[in-house]
């Protein structure tokens, strides 16, 4: 069966520090991968998606970036965090057949 | 264009009473429709999905939803609420445009009173 792992679960970082959130998927190959952000009391915002290694599409301009160094690994990064980067970050994957998404447990980022 | 509207931002019910979470959609294509549940500080879990088969879809934890094309609705129901149903619920539309484009509703927070 397929599983998705996301870490770290919680992170407290000072403004201006770097960020790296990692997501890996097991039990499937060539998944579509996604990073979403959920600000407090708000819905989900798609940040990045990837249909293959090295293929990244950005949905919103910001100081975050994403990379897919391996087929089942998706990384969200920032060189310098802003206060507005605080939120709940969710990684997800899909097989591309039905549009169904499978989510990780999320990473809570607090920027102080 | 595609869109999803969850008609209630908050719904409050008493334990043991029915639950109704409303969702309307707009789509130029034949959509797939989903309901996800999110408990605090957790990821989203799929409750049920409609992918052009039976219009009445049964999901986990006693939830079901009916796809009504004429009303462009996909409301989520449960006959009897349980305290553990308290969570955020998202209605989602997915359309096959160059892969899949997925649109999330704003979410409905369900409160269950003892």
CATH number of the domain to which B103 belongs: 2.60.40.10
Closest-CA residue of chain A to B5? A43
- Worst-scoring range by mean pLDDT, A11-20, A24-33, B26-35, B105-114? B26-35
Q: Give the gap in angstroms from C-alpha B43 to the nearest C-alpha of chain A.
A: 4
Residue B97 pLDDT > 90, yes or no? Answer: no
For residue B53, the model assigns a pLDDT of 76
For residue B60, the model assigns a pLDDT of 95
- Domain limits for position B80: 3-113
Residues of B in contact with A100 (CB under 8 A): 32, 34, 46, 49, 94
What domains are defined for chain A?
Answer: 3-111 (2.60.40.10)
Mean pLDDT score, B74-90? 97
For residue B31, the model assigns a pLDDT of 85
For residue B50, the model assigns a pLDDT of 92
Mean pLDDT score, A11-37? 95
Average pLDDT of chain A? 92
How many folded domains does chain B comprise?
1
Closest partner CB to B100 (pick from A43, A88, A96): A96
Tokens of A64: 């975050």
- Worst-scoring range by mean pLDDT, A68-72, B57-61, B93-97? B93-97
For residue A112, the model assigns a pLDDT of 96
Mean pLDDT score, A79-94? 94
Residue A69 pLDDT > 90, yes or no? Answer: yes
For residue B99, the model assigns a pLDDT of 63
A28-60 pLDDT, tens digit per residue, is: 989 999 999 998 767 899 999 999 999 999 888
For residue B74, the model assigns a pLDDT of 96
SS (H, E, C) chain B: CCEEEECCCEEEEECCCCEEECEEEECCCCCEEEEEEECCCCCEEEEEEECCCCCEEECHHHCEEEEECCCCEEEEEECCCCHHHCEEEEEEEEECCCCCEEEECCCEEEEEEC
Residues of B in contact with A32 (CB under 8 A): 99-100
Q: Is B103 on the interface with A (CB under 8 A)?
A: no
Residue B98 pLDDT > 90, yes or no? Answer: no
């Amino acid at each position: 069966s397929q599983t998705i792992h996301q870490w770290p679960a919680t992170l407290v970082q000072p403004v201006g520090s770097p960020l790296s959130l990692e997501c890996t998927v097991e039990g499937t190959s060539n998944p579509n991968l996604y990073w979403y952000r959920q600000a407090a009391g708000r819905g989900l915002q798609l940040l990045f998606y990837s249909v293959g290694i090295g293929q990244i599409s950005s949905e919103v301009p910001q100081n975050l970036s994403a990379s897919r160094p391996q087929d089942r690994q998706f990384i969200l990064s920032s060189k310098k965090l802003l206060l507005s980067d605080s939120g709940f970050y969710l990684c997800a994957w899909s097989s591309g057949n039905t549009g169904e998404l499978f989510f990780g447990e999320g990473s809570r980022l607090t920027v102080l | 264009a595609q869109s999803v509207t969850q008609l209630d931002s908050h719904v409050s019910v008493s334990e043991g009473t029915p639950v109704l979470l409303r969702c309307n959609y707009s789509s130029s294509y034949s959509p797939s429709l989903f309901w996800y549940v999110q408990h605090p500080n957790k990821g989203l879990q799929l409750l049920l999905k409609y992918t052009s088969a039976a219009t009445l879809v049964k999901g986990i934890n006693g939830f079901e939803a009916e796809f009504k094309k004429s009303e462009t609705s996909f409301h989520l129901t449960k006959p009897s609420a349980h305290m553990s149903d308290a969570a955020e619920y998202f209605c989602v539309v997915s359309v096959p445009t160059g892969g899949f484009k997925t649109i999330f509703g704003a979410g409905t927070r369900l409160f269950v009173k003892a």
